[in-house]
Amino acid sequence: MAIRNPEIKYKELFINNEFVKAESGRTFPVFNPTTGDAICEVSEAGPEDVNKAVAAARKAFSNTAPWRTMDASERARLILKLSDLMERDLCYLASLDTLDNGKPFTESLCDLEYSIKTLRYYAGWCDKIQGSTIPCDVSLADGEFMCLTRREPLGVVGQIIPWNYPVMMLAWKWGPALATGCTIVLKSAELTPISSLYVGSLVKEAGFPPGVINIIPGMGPVAGHAIAHHQDIDKVAFTGSTAVGRKIMGAASESNLKRVTMELGGKSPLVVCSDCGDLDEAAELCHTAMFGNHGQNCCAGSRTFVHESIYDEFVKRAVKLAEERPVGDPFDEKTLLGPLVSQTQMERVLGYIEKGKSEGAKLECGGARLGSEGYFVSPTVFSNVTDDMTIAKEEFSSMDEVIKRSNNTEYGLASGIITTNINKAIMYAQAVQAGSVWVNCYDVCLPQTPFGGYKQSGHGRELGKEGLDEYLETKTITIKVQRKMS
């Protein structure tokens, strides 16, 4: 059951298993996007706090520290314990996310359940990370050498997560890092820090050694900058905008050439073919692909291509669905669309709407702020959009055309196609330049399936077995075998 006014129990930085104030004493306000009112003040991490967190993580990663010397199955037990505690406090955590982010409580619950599944999935990997033996070339080694590999944890990792999925992005980042034995300095988003801090208290309750996980809310240009440039951080994992991703890559090259994985922006195409089957179902799928999580989703189906033979009928259905989508109090179980996360985000969305109108797109419905309290924008549908517009939805006439237009973007995070023709689906899936392709569904992400982008949507993968590789080093060990035995 939702808790409309959950108590905010933790507002300070979580370093070395303790909640501490920022060295500067600075705090920043966290706002409720439903009302625009301040929820609380949270400690703001600065460079000194990043140094403290990194030092704690480095100590926890030392060769003789409990985290490095414990059996892999014990790491799994700790991750499973954390998962159990999150499940115990499911409604409270979901209520924190709804209060802080504005997403409907039912969506927050789904996010938390998915986060728990992700951590449990990676707990299962802890004692299954293996090296291999490699046959040596007899002509060179004459049977005198044995060669093997070890997969070892990368080290101290900095993780910078966005505000759109406050706990889910935490789980995506923590799962593979903990499974491989790394230690963590996490910067939670300044817009939505309160649920991650509560999870920090569960980390301590679960029994993780001090320093393994550190959580430092703060501003990107300060705390994020310090993480990206830190000489004693071995890797940065970032989810956010492409513009910030470029800065992090530059910081990695300027500092210690730390490894970087990034899941960045997207402008994902969703193609509706003339043989889509039930047009009502197709319109509903596209509607959910765009409006899920208020449209604040990196892989949202934000470019809908509809075959010219069904275009007009599809637009009618899309408009009807948008007009009927319940907008309002995110704690009301009937609400499907809450407020946007902040005034800045609301103004950005309204700015895109104005661009669409000024560039000649037809506004079918919505397009305005709702009310004067909170950050609500009415569900909006444009039609008659050409590919050169800032927003892009349009009809198409052939598969070759829609594949070309789907790929006509600097991004390549995700894509989808709705068709009853399996050959058409396979042809599109093979040709489109995107990290995920969904056929007759959209945004179906599972803990065991890798997720990431092509082109300027980032590099590296999260989730699945591939997610582990981003937190591992491969060490080759070659041993000369003594042939003569005494």
Whether 143 has a pLDDT exceeding 70, the answer reads no
58 and 71: one domain? yes
| Rounded Cα gap, residues 335 and 333, in angstroms | 6
Same-domain status, 290 and 212: no
CA dist., res. 363 & res. 348, Å (int):
17
347 shares a domain with 376 = yes
Q: Give the domain CATH number at 57.
A: 3.40.605.10
For residues 121 and 450, give the distance between their C-alpha atoms in angstroms, rounded to a whole number: 13
pLDDT tens, residue by residue, 402-420? 999 999 999 999 999 999 9
User: What residues have CB less than 8 Å from 202, skipping those under 6 apart?
Assistant: 82, 85, 86, 89
Residue 276 lies in a domain: yes
CATH number of the domain enclosing 393: 3.40.309.10
Residue 425 · residue 419 · CB < 8 Å: yes
Active site residues per annotation = 263
Evaluate whether residue 8 is within a structural domain: no
Domain count, the chain: 2
From residue 4, how far is each of 9, 41, 315, 453, 470 by CA, in Å?
Answer: 15, 19, 37, 37, 39
| Residues 201, 146 share a domain | yes
* CA distance to 46, 256, 392, per residue, from 388 (Å): 41, 40, 8
Give pLDDT, residue 78.
98
Residue 455 identity (one-letter amino acid): K
- How far is it, in rounded angstroms, from Cα 454 to Cα 433? 6
Alpha-helix residue ranges (DSSP H) falling in 340-463: 343-358, 399-406, 422-431
Q: What is the pLDDT of residue 486?
A: 61
- Asked if residue 5 belongs to a domain, the reply is no
Q: What percentage of the chain exceeds 90 in pLDDT? A: 88
Same domain for 259 and 342, yes or no, is no
Categorize the per-residue pLDDT at 295 as very low, low, confident or very high, splitting at 50, 70 and 90.
confident
Tell whether 480 is covered by a domain.
Answer: no
pLDDT in tens, 197-210: 999 999 999 999 99
Which amino acid, one-letter code, is at 318? Answer: A
Mean pLDDT of 328-342: 94
Range of the domain at 355: 269-446
Asked whether residue 143 falls in the same domain as residue 255, the answer is yes
Distances (CA, A) of 161 to 14, 109, 122, 217, 369: 16, 19, 19, 10, 28
Confidence at residue 153, expressed as pLDDT on a 0 to 100 scale: 98
Q: Name the residue among 392, 442, 397, 435 with its Cα closest to residue 417.
A: 442
**Backbone phi and psi for residue 65, each to the nearest 5 degrees, phi listed first:** -70, 155
Claim to verify: residue 259 and residue 277 sit in the same structural domain: no
Q: What is the mean pLDDT of residues 357-362?
A: 89
Where is average pLDDT lowest: 120-124, 146-150, 457-461, 479-483? 479-483
Most confident of 16-30, 340-354, 355-369: 16-30
Q: Are 290 and 235 contained in the same domain?
A: no
Domain match, 179 and 292 both: no
**Predicted confidence (pLDDT) per residue in 157-197, tens digit:** 999 999 999 999 999 999 999 999 999 999 999 999 999 99
Confidence (pLDDT) at 384 = 82
- Which backbone phi and psi does 293 adopt, to 5 degrees? 55, 35
- 102 vs 302, higher pLDDT: 102
3-state secondary structure of 161: coil
The whole-number pLDDT of residue 138 equals 60
What confidence category does residue 140 fall into, taking pLDDT thresholds of 50, 70 and 90?
low
Percent pLDDT > 70 in the chain is 97
Give the model's pLDDT for residue 394: 62
In a domain, 481, yes or no: no
Lowest-confidence region among 68-77, 358-367, 452-461: 358-367
**Same-domain status, 280 and 260:** no
Would residue 482 count as lying in a domain?
Answer: no
Residues 169/160, Cβ–Cβ less than 8 Å: no
Tens digit of pLDDT for each residue in 10-54? 999 999 999 999 999 999 999 999 999 999 999 999 999 999 999
Instruction: Identify whether residues 464 and 435 lie together within a single domain.
Output: no
Higher pLDDT, 360 or 452: 452
Instruction: Identify whether 3 is part of a domain.
Output: no
Same domain, 101 and 238: yes
**Can you give the pLDDT at residue 392?**
60
pLDDT tens digit string along 237-293? 999 999 999 999 999 999 999 999 999 988 899 999 999 999 999 999 999 999 988
Name the pLDDT band for 386 (thresholds 50, 70, 90): confident
At residue 278, the pLDDT reads: 96
The tokens 């591939």 sit on which residue?
Answer: 466
For 117-134, letters b (16+ CB in 10 Å) and e give bbbbbbbebbeebeeeee
Asked if residue 353 belongs to a domain, the reply is yes
Predicted local confidence at residue 432, as pLDDT: 97
Query: Where does residue 27 rank: exposed (0-12), middle (13-18), buried (19+ CB within 10 A)?
Result: middle
φ/ψ of 381, rounded to 5, equals -130, 130
